[in-house]
């Protein structure tokens, strides 16, 4: 399957283009697709559920493009985490490691083969996590890699005074002490300011993982990010997107639109129709 993100030349008519995030990071995680503010498609150009017609302004990212990009992210992650080699000409990872190479691999302890522990941040990250894990496990099998991959699920809430304590409330997940010595990959669907993610990573560092990485599907290009005030970037990024209110691909608006395959811009009618209703007994005091 052809991947749009690794081409050396860009068709000027395409609404998205490959770029480098500019943070000076070497390795697989340094590339992403930059979605311009004017880039979008009409919903009439796609198969679209009737219950959401009239409530979405545009399609920002079609489902097929999302899936293709995730396949590429999986390859980048496996190449980086398991220390494989690839060439720019073929972009193919080393097909098999010897047992000696695996046993001597850096960043992994306790077992004599690489260990990757993937933390999915719920709720919005479940779809991205599911598709990404399918690609990662399929790739590991296809190249004959001896590796251990474990998963867990958490929800994250910042304390009201998180700026002073530097902590977040991690809900769910097994014993976090088990992260010690492992390569931990945090999977998130959308990063806005990045402050909660930075605080989460600082908290997870207390559990002494060997490496701590983040794979994010969407990063919002807000005015503060454009000005340089927001500097956080994930290690692996799918798309940098304009600062719009988006839904679809498990990203919701009041728990609606999660079942929409495409990532879309919700319109004012959608915000009004699906807004959270105030209970009658609370309406007078709201």
Q: What is the 3-state secondary structure (H, E, C) of the chain?
A: CCCHHHCCCCCCCCCEEEEECCCCCCCHHHEEEEECCCCCECHHHCCCCHHHCCCEEEEEECHHHHHHHHHHHHHHHHHHHCCCCECCCCCCECCCCCHHHHHCCCCCCCCCCCEEEEEEECCCCHHHHHHHHHHHHHHHHHCCCCCEEEEEEEEEEECCCHHHHCCEEEEECCCHHHHCCCEEEEEEEEECCCHHHHHHHHHHHCCCCCEEEEEEEEEEECHHHHHCCCCCCCCEEEEEEECCCEEECCECECCECCCCCCEEEECHHHHHHCCCCCCHHHHCCC
- The answer to whether position 8 is within a domain reads no
Along the 286 residues of the chain, how does pLDDT read in single tens digits?
A: 333 333 323 333 344 444 444 333 444 445 899 998 888 899 999 999 999 999 999 999 999 999 999 999 999 999 898 887 654 544 545 444 444 454 455 444 444 456 899 999 988 889 999 999 999 999 988 888 878 899 999 988 754 433 434 567 788 767 788 888 889 999 999 998 888 899 899 989 999 999 999 999 999 999 999 999 988 999 999 999 999 999 999 998 988 999 999 999 999 999 999 987 544 444 333 3
- Quick check: pTM over 0.85? no
Domain assignment present for 179: yes
Tally of domains within the chain: 1
Q: Is-catalytic flag, 192? A: yes
Answer whether residue 216 is part of any domain. yes
The answer to whether position 22 is within a domain reads no
- Does residue 284 sit within a domain? no
Q: Which of 34, 68, 192, 243 is catalytic?
A: 192
Q: Residue 79 maps to which CATH number? A: 3.40.50.2020
Whether 213 maps to a domain, the answer reads yes
Domain hosting residue 174, numbered range: 64-85+103-243
Domain for residue 119, yes or no? yes
> Is residue 38 in a domain?
no
């Amino acid at each position: 399957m052809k991947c749009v993100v690794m081409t050396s030349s860009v068709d000027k008519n395409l609404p998205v283009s490959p770029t480098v995030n500019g943070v000076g990071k070497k390795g697989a995680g340094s590339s992403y697709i930059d979605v311009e503010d004017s880039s979008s498609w009409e919903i009439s150009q796609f198969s679209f559920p009737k219950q959401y017609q009239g409530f979405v302004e545009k399609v920002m990212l079609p489902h097929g493009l999302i899936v293709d990009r995730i396949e590429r992210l999986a390859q980048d992650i496996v190449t980086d985490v398991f220390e494989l080699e690839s060439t720019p000409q073929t972009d193919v990872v080393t097909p098999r490691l010897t047992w000696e190479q695996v046993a001597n691999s850096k960043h992994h302890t306790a077992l004599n083969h690489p260990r990757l522990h993937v933390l999915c941040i719920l709720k919005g990250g479940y779809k991205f996590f599911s598709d990404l894990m399918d690609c990662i496990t399929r790739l590991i099998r296809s190249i004959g890699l001896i590796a251990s991959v474990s998963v867990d699920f958490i929800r994250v809430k910042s304390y009201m005074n998180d700026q002073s304590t530097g902590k977040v409330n991690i809900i769910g997940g097994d014993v976090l002490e088990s992260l010690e010595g492992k390569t931990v990959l945090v999977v998130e669907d959308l990063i806005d300011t990045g402050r909660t993610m930075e605080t989460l990573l600082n908290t997870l560092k207390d559990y002494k993982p060997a490496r701590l990485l983040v794979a994010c599907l969407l990063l919002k290009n807000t005015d503060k990010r454009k000005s340089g005030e927001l500097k956080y970037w994930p290690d692996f990024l799918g798309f940098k997107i304009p600062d719009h209110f988006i839904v679809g691909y498990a990203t919701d608006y009041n728990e609606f639109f999660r079942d929409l395959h495409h990532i879309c811009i919700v319109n004012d009618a959608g915000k009004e129709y699906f807004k959270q209703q105030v209970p009658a007994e609370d309406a007078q005091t709201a």
